[in-house]
Structure 1
Amino acid sequence: MVSLATVLLGTGATATALPAGAAEPAAPSGRAAGPAVDGPVAGAVPGDPEADDVTGTYPWLSAPGLAKAGYIEQEFYLSGRADAYGPTGERLADDVPYTTRIVVRRPSSPERFNGTVLTEWQNVSGGYDLDALWAPDQVTRAGYAWVGVSAQRVGVEQLRGWSPARYGRLDVTGQGRFTADEMSYDVYAQAAAALRAGTGKVLGPLRARTLLGIGASQSAGRMTVYYDRVLPQTEPVFDGYGFVVGSAPSRTGGEPVFHVLSETDVRTPVRRADDNGYRRWEVAGAAHSGRFGQAYREQLLTRDLGAAPTYSCARPPFSEVPLHHVTAAVYAHLGRWAEHGVLPPAAPPLEFASDGTKARDASGLARGGVRLSQVEVPTALNTGDNTGETFCVLFGTHVPFGEEQLDRLYPTHAGYAARVAAADARAVREGHILPADAVVNLREAVSSDVGRD
């Protein structure tokens, strides 16, 4: 079985903390240089008849349905010279040539753009670039631009094999000189520099006001090394950072850090305390990789790989607590924090029992933490725990309540819907979800059969 640490941190990196009393890395030496930009890259549209004859000539995991939301997707090659760093921040080489790609999903009209770019370090735990934090409804509703950066060898090598014609020129290893992703930190930073360059380039007519660096799981581990060890040696390129379902920095820096964990990821009651540069939220019942992401990606992996992976887990996967509703609120808070210094609200931590395990109620639901209506007004047991082959440990559990239990909890349908509305209204007041997502939850409750005769 793949260990949890391996899955969380992925290939070639460990998230290292600064030892107590250790000296900070060397003083900043300069801003990440802006790379050369080539694109947008031409190609077929997924689903067009001609795509069958030119397999792979659209962006990997190209997102469907963007035009309906007033968005477009474009892909660009970035080429430049990056510095290479070791896992403790030591500089190994300067000015190593690279070529990578970024995929941009943005409003087609400047009037729809909210000024913030979510710049995701793409996760490669599955052996390919994964848009782990792409949540189309939440991103497009708010008017963000989302940019996925291919910073690591594993993802780039898979792209090269998937479509040699489209991606064969990519290389983030210095032609094999650095195969443990030593160049990834500067490649990511240089992608941000390209986004800073203004109108007429990778963002088209849009001008970015705020750049947020975001990463999930393995990518959060890479970003932790970047923030703690590499960033102090260079000048900032992002205005704030979101570390999701993975590690987060131990250093207090000039750019705010928001740390979001599912129930899966909280394994000890020992935590870094919130301060003026750091917030940590823990989401009860949520899984490291829950139902939403799995359902969205299944169709795309089937399209691009022929089949999506399947798993045999010890308990029914996947948790249906919508972690992406929480991250949508986090992005809004992080933007205000970075732009205006407005501190986000705090959140209670998950509770632990005296035996060191997570505290649970009579139904098995976690106590404490950020609590959404799926946990406060449950119709199923959703947890962050599971076991089984490969990634099952990350999927959590979803076990629907039986009819007898539902009838006991919710004698009437109207009463059930009212409780859902009240639970999410409280979450909105506490700043843990956005009103639009509370509306989504209520609509689902109203359309359900819970409490009906």
Structure 2
Amino acid sequence: MKLPRAYRAALAAAVIVTLLPASPALADQPTPVSSPVVSGPIPGTVPGDRLAEAVEDTYPFFSTPDDLAASGYVEREFYLSGVADGWDQLGNQVATDVPYRTRIVVRRPAQDRNFNGTALVEWQNVTAGYDLDALWNGEAMMRAGYAWIGVSAQRVGVDQLRGWSPARYGALDVTGEGRFTADELSYDIFAQAAQAVRARGKDAPLARLGLRTVLAIGASQSAARMTVYYQSILPQVAPVFDGYAFIVGSAPTRVGPEPVFQVLSETDVRTPVRPSPDTDRFRRWEVAGGAHSGWRGQQYRAPISVRDLGTAPVYDCAQPPFSRVPVDHATAAAYDHLVRWVRTGVAPPTAPPLVFNADGTKARDSLGLALGGIRYSQVSVPTAVNTGDNAGQSFCFLFGSHQPFDEATLHGLYPSRAGYLARVALADLGNVRAGYLLPADARENLRAAVGSGVGG
């Protein structure tokens, strides 16, 4: 199977990560991270006519359709500009003080009383050819009171923005006017975005919210680029993030003062060899049955794709695509643990790894479900075979699969409705107690089970 070009680039980055030295020699004086000029909020925040000539008549690309106001949230967009240093993927500095201009998208509580004090700064993913807020989980983030900041750090995403709305984004450039097209500036731009988030003031990205903690988060290819940053660049520059979450992608092996949390779906665990063991600075969770890009994300993005791109992609996969196992439940719990880890030093719980057979294949039960790992009720009390595996065109291999049981199988597993619901509740109660699941998400799982009609 020929992999998509963008994903081949992501895999190449991940391979480079594995070849990186443990860390370059520490500089006597780490290079400080510059504070960029912040302009905004940019006029135009409600989706409307993006083709209009005036910036005021445009809106942020992939603006969320979530009802932010109902949760006391607002969405704002800002320009960031300044000069950035350039780095290659081996941690060598290749440029200094290169002018750039990009944007960040901010979704935050309107009032400080609704803010939990933590900003989640996401390196927006560009594997699909445009900026993707892969880790935005509106329900969980707004429920907890996080601020979310999406950073446009890479050329592919910025170039697409420039074409999508020249009025709004035509002046953006992260290549030094074409001199640095391999995203050499992206690492410093991402760090400078964190500096911008720390600013206070009426027109600052977080206004006057009481910020305490800034976490870097990234998924897939973005996790790979964050790995390069943490592994080989961060030892040479002043730290700006308090902790790091690497989601469905690689993570650094270097042990640094900032804690690292890695969350992987079943798709992402392809070998029994784990590069790094859990330590007092590193945690790795593996979610049984979960997919690199699962059902929830696809359902959320489909209408946005129609609105902003004119169509939503349709895939012809070897198996019915999109695992329903909620990997986002693991990331929601992980963020809370990471904040506690940073603020109090209390490390998150460890989790069992996925199990492999002697021949290197994943071990599965008689139903075809993966053994080991974090097991949410969708896996431990299954109504379908959810896996992290699939094949077919384009990105199918990232979607996992979902094959519902027939009625005979369901009746054999759950002859009574009460028994089925009790098993779901007990399974997720165990996950809550273990620290793998937030109580609100356990309630969501139970509500879905009640609505399923299984055991009736």
TM-score with structure 2 length normalisation? 0.95
**Aligned pairs (5 A) from 1:27-426:** 27-43=28-44, 45-46=46-47, 53=52, 57-64=58-65, 65-200=67-202, 201-271=204-274, 272-426=276-430
**CA contact 1:115–1:208 (8 Å) conserved in 2:** yes
**CA contact 2:267–2:291 (8 Å) conserved in 1:** yes
Cα gap change, 1:418/1:21 in structure 2, threshold over 3 Å: closer, same or farther?
closer
**CA contact 2:410–2:454 (8 Å) conserved in 1:** yes
Regions of 4+ moved over 4 Å:
18-23, 50-56
SS in 2 for 1:205: coil
Cα gap change, 1:8/1:292 in structure 2, threshold over 3 Å: closer, same or farther?
farther
Deviation string, structure 1 residues 392-443 (Cα, Å, up to 9, x no partner): 0000000000000000000011111110000000000000010000000001
How many residue pairs were aligned? 450
1:87 counterpart letter in structure 2: Q
1:5, CA displacement in angstroms? 9.9
Cα gap change, 1:401/1:21 in structure 2, threshold over 3 Å: closer, same or farther?
closer
Q: Does 1:3 align with 2:6?
A: no
Distance 1:109 1:2 in 2: 49
Cα gap change, 1:135/1:23 in structure 2, threshold over 3 Å: closer, same or farther?
closer
Deviation string, structure 1 residues 358-402 (Cα, Å, up to 9, x no partner): 000000000000010000000000000000011000000000000
SS in 2 for 1:296: helix
1:54, CA displacement in angstroms? 6.1
Distance 2:112 2:254 in 1: 36
1:66, CA displacement in angstroms? 1.0
Distance 2:52 2:23 in 1: 57
Cα gap change, 1:25/1:311 in structure 2, threshold over 3 Å: closer, same or farther?
farther
Distance 1:403 1:367 in 2: 24
SS in 1 for 2:336: helix
Distance 2:123 2:265 in 1: 19
Cα gap change, 1:190/1:51 in structure 2, threshold over 3 Å: closer, same or farther?
closer
Cα gap change, 1:299/1:26 in structure 2, threshold over 3 Å: closer, same or farther?
same
**Aligned pairs (5 A) from 1:16-35:** 16-17=17-18, 23-24=24-25, 26-35=27-36
Distance 2:440 2:295 in 1: 20
2:164 counterpart letter in structure 1: W
1:26, CA displacement in angstroms? 3.8
Distance 1:59 1:176 in 2: 24
Distance 2:127 2:262 in 1: 20
Distance 2:297 2:8 in 1: 16
TM-score with structure 1 length normalisation? 0.96
Cα gap change, 1:442/1:22 in structure 2, threshold over 3 Å: closer, same or farther?
closer
Moved more, 137-146 or 20-29: 20-29
Distance 2:13 2:269 in 1: 20
- For structure 2, the 5+ residue unaligned runs are none
Distance 2:109 2:35 in 1: 23
1:435 counterpart letter in structure 2: P
Identity %: 61
1:351 counterpart letter in structure 2: V
**CA contact 1:217–1:244 (8 Å) conserved in 2:** yes
SS in 2 for 1:140: helix
Cα gap change, 1:431/1:91 in structure 2, threshold over 3 Å: closer, same or farther?
same
**CA contact 2:379–2:386 (8 Å) conserved in 1:** yes
Distance 1:422 1:333 in 2: 22
**CA contact 2:116–2:145 (8 Å) conserved in 1:** yes
Distance 1:372 1:8 in 2: 31
Distance 1:115 1:438 in 2: 24
**CA contact 1:31–1:237 (8 Å) conserved in 2:** no
**CA contact 1:220–1:246 (8 Å) conserved in 2:** yes
Deviation string, structure 1 residues 133-178 (Cα, Å, up to 9, x no partner): 0011001000000000000000000000000000001000000000
**CA contact 2:24–2:91 (8 Å) conserved in 1:** no
SS in 1 for 2:366: coil
SS in 2 for 1:16: helix
- For structure 1, the 5+ residue unaligned runs are none
Distance 2:53 2:11 in 1: 31
Cα gap change, 1:23/1:130 in structure 2, threshold over 3 Å: closer, same or farther?
closer
**CA contact 1:27–1:232 (8 Å) conserved in 2:** no
**CA contact 2:51–2:165 (8 Å) conserved in 1:** no
**CA contact 1:18–1:228 (8 Å) conserved in 2:** no
- Over aligned residues, Cα RMSD in angstroms? 1.8
Distance 2:364 2:321 in 1: 19
Deviation string, structure 1 residues 31-81 (Cα, Å, up to 9, x no partner): 2110000000001512x5x66756981000101211112110000000000
